[in-house]
Chain A
Amino acid sequence: MSQQYYLLRNREVPDIDQMPVYLAHGGYQALRKALNDFKPEELVDMVKKSGLRGRGGAGFPTGMKWGFLPNDGRKRYLVVNSDEAEPGTFKDREIIEHNPHQLIEGIIISSYATKAREAFIYCRGEFLFGSEQLNRAVREAYEQGFLGENILGTGFSLDLNVYRGAGAYICGEESALLESLEGKRGNPRLKPPFPAIAGLYGGPTVINNVETIANVPVIVSKGADWYTSMGTAKSPGLKIFSVSGRVQRPGNYEIPLATPLSTLINDYAGGMLPGRQLKAVIPGGSSVPLLTPDKVDTPLDYESILQAGSMLGSGGCIVLDDHVCIVGATARLVRFYREESCGKCTPCREGTYWMTDILERLEHGLGTLEDLDTLADVADNIGGKCFCPLGDASLGVLVSALQHFHEEFVAHVEQHACPMGERLYDTVNN
C-alpha cells in the first residue's frame, strides 16, 4: 500500500532522528509558527478544533484536557507518557527511537499552549535505546535553542527532562506514572484530585501520550481543518495501529481513523499467514474485548469499535488465526495482569491471580465446567470494584472470550486437554 507519513516520517526520511535531517525536512517549523503566530489560548483552541483525542488508550479529547488546568498561577507541568507497555502496542517506541524530534517539537508547542515551564518524558525502562535517542535529541534541541531559556527569542522558556521508568506496566496509568516520576512506588493515586488540579509535585499537570503529542506539530502546520478532513466527526485525524500476531507483515501503520479493520489487516499488514483464517482480533491493546471475524469490516474509529463491542484503546491490534487456542491466549493475557498488578487493591491483586490459575488449569485440561462459572463470577467481582482501571483491563479479553468462544472452553474441559495442543506456538505452526 502506498503510504503518506505524518507521524512515522522516519519511514520515508532516513536519519530523521538526527537534528540536521529533521531540520532539512521542515522540522521545528511548526514550533516557529506556533510561538510566533499564536497565543497559547489560540493553540488550545486549534487542538480542540482538530478533535485530536488521546492516543494513550482512553481517547479523551486533548484540547479539552488542556482546558482543565486552573488559572491559579501555580507552576504547571507537561508530562509525556512514553511508558508503552500495553501488550500488542509498540507505536510510541517507533516514534521515540526513530522520530524523536517530532515528539520534542510537539512537547514544546504543547507546553507553550498549556503554559507549562517544565516538561518530562516518562520513558519505559525497557526502552534503553529509546531513552538514549530521546536524551540525544533533547540535547540537540537545547543546542539549537528550542529548549531552555527564551526559545527562539520569544521569551518562552521550557526545560525538558527524560525520566526512565524501571519496569512496571502500572506506571503507564497516569497517576501511578506521577508517583513513579516523584520517585515512589508506582501505586495509582486516589482521584480526585485529578492531575490537572494536583498532579506532578502537586502542581497542575497535563499528561499525554507520545503519539498524541507527536500529532501536535502536524496539526499546527497543516491546520485543524486539514486534520478533521480525515476520520469521522468524533474521531478525526490519523492514528498509528500496531499490528501483531498471525499476519504476514506485523508492524505499525499510520492510517486515517475510520479505515476498516479489514483494510488494516489485509491490505496494510499483508493479510493472514498463508492458509490461515482469522479467528479473532483484539483491536486496541490487550485490555479491550476481542472481536470476532464478523466484525472485521468495522471502521477503526472510537465510536464504531465501541459499537462493535470493543474499544479502540491504544491501537494495538493482535490478530489471532484459527490455530490459536483462545483459552491459551486468554490465559497468557490475564497472566500479564497478574504480573503487573501493583498489589494495592484486593480485587485486582487476588482476582488476577485466581483467574490466571483457573485459566492455566483449563488450558491444561484440568478444569471443570464449574470453573467456567467461577471464572465469569470472579470477573464480575473484579469489574468496577478496583482502585484503578488495571483490574478492569484484565477482563476485556477474558469476558469476551468466554462469551464468543464458550464452546472452546467447554471443549478443554470435556477433552481434559487443549484441543489444539499444549503450547501456543506449537499449535499455531502445526
Chain B
Amino acid sequence: MIRLTIDEQEVSVPEGTMIVDAAAKVGIDVPIYCYHQALGPLGACRMCLVEVEKMPKLVTGCTTAVSEGMVVHTKGPRVEKGRQGVLEFLLINHPLDCPVCDKGGECYLQDYAFEYGPSKGRFQEPKIQKVKDGPINEFVLIDQERCVLCQRCVRFMSEYVGEGQLLLEGRGVETVVTTVDHEPAQSHFTGNVIDLCPVGALLSAPYNHKGRPWNIDRQTTICPQCPVGCPSKMTTRESHIIRMEGRPVPNRDWGWLCDRGRFGYDFGYHPLRILDSTVQGQSVSSAQAMRDTAQWMKETIRDHGFGSIGFVMGGHFTSEEAYWIKNFAQDVAHTSELATIRNVPGYLPITLNGTFEDLEKTDMTVFVGVDPYEAVPVVHLKLRDRLRHFPHLKVVGVGPRKLTVDTLPGTDYIVPSEDEAAFFAQALLLAAGEDPTAEMLAQKVKDYPLPIDSTTLKSLGESLLKAEHLTLLWDGENPQMEQIFKALAQLREAPTAVLPTFGPVNWRGYEKAGIPVRYEELRRLLTKAKNGDIRMLVLWGSDLMREFPDRVLAQEALAAVDYVVSAQIRPPLDMPYVDALLPVAAWGEVEGSYVNMEARVAIAAAGVQPPGQCRPTKSYMAGWARLFQQAFKVEEEWDLFADTEGDLIPRHGNGGDEMMPQAVERPQLPEDPGQWKVIRGDLVWENGIPSEILEPRFTPFVGRIHPLEAEALNIGPEGGYVDIETAAGTVSLDVRADSSIPERTLWVPRSSHYDWNVLLNEVRQIKRREEVRSL
C-alpha cells in the first residue's frame, strides 16, 4: 500500500492507483472526462489537473500514479485556473445548445462549466461545423459538434468490446467520432457509449427529446431480458418506460448493458401487449374473468378433488409473485401440482452455482453448449474484461457448434449436445487415471465413440483438473452435465464455478419461492394432465407450445384438460387451447425481487402503472381467494434477503447426497449419421419479448446453416427462405449462412417465433423456398 496526502487527508491505496481514484476514495471529486477506470488512463481531456508538490507543472490526476509520501492538492488557484482553461477550450467549439440537448441536466460539461466555467464567452470566431444528429446506428445518435473527443466511446468499442465499429477520423481540431464507412454499427453493445459519453454527443435515438431531467423519474432496477439481470436504471415519464441505462455497482459491475436490454424496454406498450381479459374468445371485464376462472377452479376441485389443478410458472415474474402463486395453489386451490416452464432439461444444484466474481478470477472458462455473446451478452463482456487483465485466459467451447468468437478466442470441440457429458467423462477419466470418481463417472461411456482423439481429450481433461479457477457456462441442454459438474467439484481442489445460462430468467427465484423448477416436474405434471389426473392448467406466464421442448406432450396436455387459464403479456402459442386469457402486470409495473444466474437477489422497481386491464399477480391471487371466500394474505412476511449471505442465495444445498455424482448415461447413437441434425441455442434477441424499438435489429433470418449448405441451397449472404420436411410435416424457416454451424446441421433459436420444438422431429429434407413469405 502507498500512503499519500490529498488535500490534507491521508489515504492509503494499492500501488499503481491513479491520483483521481485515490482522491475518490476519500470523497474528493476530481473532474474527469476521458478517464474511465474500466478503460484505463488516457490523459486526453486534461480536465483532471491537480497540483503535486515538488512537480513543476500541474499533472493529470488520471495518468499519474500515486507514490509514497506524495502531497496532492486538488484545489487552489493554480488548479482552478488550469481547469477553467481546459473547460473554456472544450466550450469554444461546443454548440452550447443545452436547452435542446437530451443530456441537459445530466451532463458533465454542464456540471463542470457551472463549477469552473468562464462567466462569459470570450470566443468570437465561428465554431467548427460538424455532423449533428448523425446515426451511429438505429439506436444511437451522434452530435459531433458536442463531442469533446474524450475517446471513451471509441476505446470502449475497440479495446473493451473488441468490435472496432467506432473510430476517430481525421486529425487535430477536425477530428470526429464516426462509424466504419459511415455505416451503422452492428455490435450488441453500442448503447453503452450513451452512458459513457460525458456530454451530449452520443444520445439514445428512441429516447431523444422524450424527456427532460425535471419531468422524468429514474429508478434503480435490473434488466429482465436474460439471466444476467444487469443492474440498471429505468427512466419513466407519464407511465411509460422511456429509457434504460446501465447502473454501475462499485467493485462489482461497470454497468454495461447489451442493446437488447437497453433498448427493448417498450414491451409494456407494444401493440401485442394483452390488455383485456378474454374468456372463451369473448372480451370480458376483469371482474367477470376473475369470477369465471374462479368458478372453474371450484368446479374442478369439486369434481376431481384436491390436486386436480396444475400451475406452471413462466415469464418474467418476481420471486414474490411466485411465492404468492405457490401459496394460493397450496392453500386455496389445494394443489401441489406446481412446475416451472423449462425449455432445456438441465438443472444446477445451488452448491455449484458460481458468481460473476468467479469470472474476474478465472483462468479457464468452458462454454458448454452456449455462446455467451448471444445468450447472455454482458457475461461475454465480463469475460472480455478478464481477458484484458489476464491474457492467458483459456477459453474452451464444447457443444454442437463453434461457440467461441473472435473477440474471445478459444478452442472449440464440436460434439453433439447429447454427447457432451460423455465427452467430459472420458476427458476426466483419461486425465485422472485411476481415480474412483472418474472411473465411476465414466463407467457407462468409457468406450462411447466420440469424434475427438484421446490425446486431445486427455489434455483437455488435464487442463480442467489443473485450472486454478475453473468456470463453466452451461445452457442446460444436456442434463447429464450435472454429474460432470459434481464430479469436477470432487476431483478438483481449486474453485469450480458453474453459471447456468438457461431460463426462465428468474427460475432461481421461483425455486426459492417453493415452486419446483426441474424439468421432470413439468413433464410429470403435463403427463398427469394428459392422463386426466390434472383437469385444469393455470399457466402463469408460461407458454407451453412455444417453450416446452416436447411439443406433442404439451399439446396433448392442453387438449386433455377441461380448462386452461393463461396469464400473459403477449398472445401465447397455446391460444387455441386457452379458455381464459388474463392480462397481467409485467416487469417495471410491479416491485419485486429477481434472482439471476449467479443466484444473486436484486430488486426491480415499479416505475409505471400496468396498462389497460393488466393486474398484478397479487390482485389475481387475492381476488380469487376472495371468491373462494378464503383469507389469503399477500402481504405475508417473506424476505428473500433474510439469509446471512447478503444478496446471494446461500450455497449450502440439501446435504452431501445432492453433491454425489452419478455415472453418466450412455447416449443413444444416432440412427442415421447422414441425416440433418437440428440444434438449438439461446439468443437474447429472440427471447420473445416484443419490442418495436428493436424491430430494425431483429434479424429476419434466424435459422442458421453452414455456408456451403447455404450455397448449395442458393441462399446468398442476406439469407433466404427454406421449406423443411420433417416427420411431422413441413415447416418454413428463414435461414442464413453461419460458419460456426457444422455441415448438415440446422440451428434454430429456442423460444423464438419459430416452431423450434417441432423441428426436433426428424428432418428429412431442406429445400429452397422460392416465394418470399409475407410476414
Q: Pick the contact of A343: B84, B90, B124, B175 (CB < 8 A).
A: B175
Complex: A351 Cα to B46 Cα, angstroms: 12
Other than A384-B57, A384-B58, give 20 A-B pairs with Cβ distance below 8 A. Answer: A168-B171, A190-B41, A338-B172, A341-B173, A342-B172, A344-B44, A344-B151, A345-B44, A345-B46, A347-B85, A349-B175, A350-B89, A353-B128, A353-B172, A353-B173, A358-B125, A361-B125, A381-B84, A381-B86, A381-B88
Measured CB to CB, the nearest residue on chain A to B47 is A346
- A residues 341-399 near B (Cβ < 8 Å) are 341-347, 349-354, 357-358, 361, 370, 374, 378, 380-382, 384-387
Please provide the chain B residues from 148 to 163 with a CB less than 8 Å away from any CB of chain A in the complex: 148-149, 151
In the complex, B650 has a CB within 8 A of chain A: no
Say whether B44 contacts A354, CB under 8 Å. Answer: no
Find out whether the CB atom of A354 lies under 8 angstroms from the CB atom of B89.
yes
Could you name 10 residue pairs across A and B whose Cβ atoms are closer than 8 Å?
Answer: A168-B171, A341-B173, A346-B90, A347-B89, A349-B172, A350-B89, A350-B90, A353-B93, A381-B85, A385-B46
Q: Which of B63, B85, B92 has the most CB of A within 10 A?
A: B85
Q: Is the CB of B173 within 8 A of A349?
A: yes
Alpha-carbon gap, A126 to B86, bound state (A) = 34
User: What 6 A-B pairs have minimum CB-CB distances, sorted nearest first?
Assistant: A381-B85, A350-B89, A357-B125, A343-B175, A384-B57, A343-B172
Interfacial chain B residues near A185, Cβ < 8 Å: 168, 171
Residues of B within 8 A of A358 (CB): 125
Instruction: Give chain A's interface residue range (CB within 8 Å of chain B).
Output: 20 to 34
Given A346-B86, A349-B149: A354 in contact with B92 (beta carbons within 8 A): yes
How far, in angstroms, from A386 to B57 measured CA to CA in the complex?
A: 10
Judged by a CB distance under 8 angstroms, whether A339 is at the interface is yes
In B578-632, which residues have CB < 8 Å from any A CB? none
Residues of B within 8 A of A (CB): 41-47, 49, 56-58, 63, 81-82, 84-86, 88-90, 92-93, 122-125, 128, 148-149, 151, 168, 170-175
Q: From residue A334, how far is it (CB to closest CB) to chain B in Å?
A: 13
Q: How far is the CB of B386 from chain A (nearest CB, A)?
A: 22
Look across to chain A and name the residue whose beta carbon is closest to the beta carbon of B151.
A344
B125 partner residues in chain A, CB cutoff 8 A: 354, 357-358, 361
A347 to B45, CA, bound (A): 8
A343→B149 contact, CB < 8 A? yes
Across-interface contacts of B63 in A (CB, < 8 A):
190
Measured between beta carbons, the chain A residues less than 8 angstroms from B173 are: 338, 341, 343, 349-350, 352-353
Out of A338, A378, A387, name the residue touching B43 (CB < 8 Å): A387
In the bound complex, CA of A350 to CA of B88 (Å)? 9
**Does A385 lie within 8 Å of B49, measured CB to CB?**
yes
Residues of B within 8 A of A387 (CB): 43-44, 46
Partner of A346, one of B41, B46, B123, B128: B46
Question: CA separation between A256 and B89, bound complex, in Å?
Answer: 44
Question: In the bound complex, do residue A347 and residue B41 qualify as a contact, i.e. CB atoms below 8 Å apart?
Answer: no
A340 within 8 A of B: yes
A residues in contact with B170, CB < 8 Å? 343
Report the separation of the CA atoms of residues A354 and B148 in the bound assembly, to the nearest whole angstrom.
Answer: 15
Q: Which residue of B lies closest to A384 (CB)?
A: B57
Distance of A104 from chain B, by nearest CB (Å): 32
Given A338-B172, A384-B57, A347 and B86 touching (CB < 8 A)? Answer: yes
* In the bound complex, CA of A350 to CA of B172 (Å): 9
Kindly state the separation between the CA atoms of A150 and B344 in the bound complex, as whole angstroms. 67
Which residues of A309-345 have CB atoms within 8 Å of chain B's CB atoms? 338-345
Bound: A232/B277 CA distance, A: 98
Separation in Å of the B216 CB from the closest CB of chain A? 31
Considering the chains assembled together, what is the distance between the CA atoms of A347 and B148 in angstroms?
Answer: 11
- B86:A385 contact, CB within 8 angstroms: yes
Q: Given A381-B82, A384-B58, are A350 and B45 also a contact pair (CB < 8 Å)?
A: no
Rounded to whole angstroms, the CA-CA distance of A418 and B172 in the bound complex is 29
- Chain B residues with Cβ below 8 Å from A340 are 172
CA distance A381 to B128 in the complex (A): 21
Bound: A190/B46 CA distance, A? 13
Contacts of A385 in B (CB 8 A): 46, 49, 57-58, 82, 85-86
Q: Given the complex of chains A and B, what is the CA–CA distance between A374 and B45 in angstroms?
A: 21
Inside 8 A of B123's CB, which chain A residues have their CB?
A: 354
**Chain B residue with the shortest CB-CB distance to A354:** B92
Q: Which of B82, B168, B171 has the most CB of A within 10 A?
A: B171
A374 and B122 form a contact (CB under 8 A): yes
Known contacts A354-B92, A381-B85, A384-B58; A342/B45 CB under 8 A: no
Known: A338-B172, A338-B173, A353-B173. A345 touches B88 (CB 8 A): no
Q: Are A381 and B89 in contact (CB under 8 A)?
A: yes
B85 touches A380 (CB 8 A): yes
Output the residue of A185, A385, A386 with the most chain B CB within 10 A: A385
- Tell me the bound Cα distance from A259 to B64 in angstroms: 42
A346, B122: Cβ atoms closer than 8 Å: no
Does the CB pair B43–A190 fall under 8 Å?
A: yes
On whether the beta carbons of B171 and A343 are closer than 8 Å, the reply is: yes
Query: Complex Cα distance A387/B59, Å?
Result: 10
